[in-house]
Structure 1
Amino acid sequence: MKNRTKEIIRSLSEIFEGEPWYGDSVMRKLENVPYVIGYKTCIPESHSVAQIVGHLISWKLYAVEKLKGNDAYNIKIDSPDDWPKIEVHSQEEWEDLKRRLVAAQSKIYELLNEKKDDSYLEEKVSGKDYHFGYLLNGIIQHDIYHIGQIGLIESQLKKKEVDSGVFKA
């Protein structure tokens, strides 16, 4: 039986591209962010929306590699692998970044759909003190957390850019 896996896929999908109860999904939120603010920050020390998207990609690819059994793959917190340097200066670059995010998410769906049953969810992730069920629920929580950050950045920059024409009324 794959009941838990199906529920994880449903939750991943709802948060990523669906209609979660709390508001916008990841992709809906990103579709509302104009590329010209994708590389801006509210304060100099904070991350941009583009950097957050790069960070989401990093952790989705981490999940992919672990699901594929790649024992050697790891991400050190606060490293360039965790927070890659991402700059977006055109609509094309913004669209490419979002496509990379969708591709990483799609690969997770593909690997989960290949699972024969839910037993892998109780298996430990190689080199970690947690199992695959915990990792996948973490990816869901991670998306929700960063949707909030993106929304905050968007609302703050929207106030700054209101007269620039970036945001349409």
Structure 2
Amino acid sequence: MKKLTEEIIKSMSETFEGQPWFGDSVMRKLENLPYVIGYKTCIPESHNVAQIVGHLIAWKRYAVEKLKENESYNIEIDTPEDWPEINVHSQEEWEELKRELVAAQGNIYEQLNAKKDDSYLQKKVSGKEYNFDYLLNGIIQHDIYHIGQIGLIESQLKNKEVDSGVFKT
């Protein structure tokens, strides 16, 4: 039986492309952002939206590799693998980055749907002190956290860009 896995998929889907109670899902938030916001930051040292999307992709790929039992795959925090240097300078680049994110999410669903039952959820992730249930719920929390960051960047830049025509009113 895969009742817990189905609940995880449902929560992931709601957060990623659905209508969560807290506001916009990841994709709804990104679909409503003009591409020129993708490479802008509120302060010079902060990550831009494109880098945050790259970071989300990286950790979704990590989850997929761990679900495939790839013991050698790892991401070190605060490295280029964790925070890839990504900039978007055209609508086409922005759309491609969003497609990569959707594909990474789809790969998680594919791995979860292939599981025969929920027993893997209590199994330790190779090389880690946590199990798959913790990892997968962490991916959901990670999405929610970064939706908030993207929303903050969007609201700050809206104030700065109010007369530029970037945001349609």
Give the TM-score normalised by the residue count of structure 1: 1.00
Secondary structure at the aligned position of 1:4 is classed as helix
2:21 alignment partner in structure 1: 21
1:56 alignment partner in structure 2: 56
Task: Give, in whole Å, the separation in 2 of the partners of 1:11 and 1:121.
Answer: 15
Cα distance, 1:61 vs structure 2: 0.2
Query: Which amino acid in 1 is paired with 2:130?
Result: Y
**Quick one: percent identity of the two aligned structures?**
80
Deviating above 3 A after TM superposition, structure 1's stretches of 4 or more consecutive aligned residues are none
Give unmatched runs, 5+ long, in structure 2: none
2:2 alignment partner in structure 1: 2
2:68 alignment partner in structure 1: 68
Does residue 40 (structure 1) correspond to residue 24 (structure 2)? The answer is: no
Q: Residue by residue, what CA displacement relative to the aligned partner does 1:68-111 show, whole Å, maximum 9, x if unpaired?
A: 11000000000000000001000000000000000000000000
Give unmatched runs, 5+ long, in structure 1: none
Task: Give, in whole Å, the separation in 2 of the partners of 1:162 and 1:65.
Answer: 42
Task: Give, in whole Å, the separation in 1 of the partners of 2:153 and 2:65.
Answer: 30
1:123 alignment partner in structure 2: 123
Secondary structure at the aligned position of 1:109 is classed as helix
2:88 alignment partner in structure 1: 88
Cα distance, 1:8 vs structure 2: 0.1
Task: Give, in whole Å, the separation in 1 of the partners of 2:162 and 2:31.
Answer: 18
Task: Give, in whole Å, the separation in 2 of the partners of 1:39 and 1:3.
Answer: 40
Q: Residue by residue, what CA displacement relative to the aligned partner does 1:38-89 show, whole Å, maximum 9, x if unpaired?
A: 1000000000000000000000000000001100000000000000000100
Query: Which amino acid in 2 is paired with 1:29?
Result: K
Cα distance, 1:32 vs structure 2: 1.1
Task: Give, in whole Å, the separation in 2 of the partners of 1:127 and 1:138.
Answer: 16
Task: Give, in whole Å, the separation in 2 of the partners of 1:137 and 1:20.
Answer: 15
Query: Which amino acid in 1 is paired with 2:59?
Result: W
Cα distance, 1:112 vs structure 2: 0.2
Task: Give, in whole Å, the separation in 2 of the partners of 1:165 and 1:95.
Answer: 20
Does residue 151 (structure 1) correspond to residue 159 (structure 2)? The answer is: no
2:100 alignment partner in structure 1: 100
Task: Give, in whole Å, the separation in 1 of the partners of 2:160 and 2:26.
Answer: 23
Query: Which amino acid in 2 is paired with 1:65?
Result: E
Task: Give, in whole Å, the separation in 1 of the partners of 2:60 and 2:35.
Answer: 22
Cα distance, 1:37 vs structure 2: 1.1
CA RMSD of aligned residues (A): 0.3
Query: Which amino acid in 1 is paired with 2:78?
Result: D
Give the TM-score normalised by the residue count of structure 2: 1.00
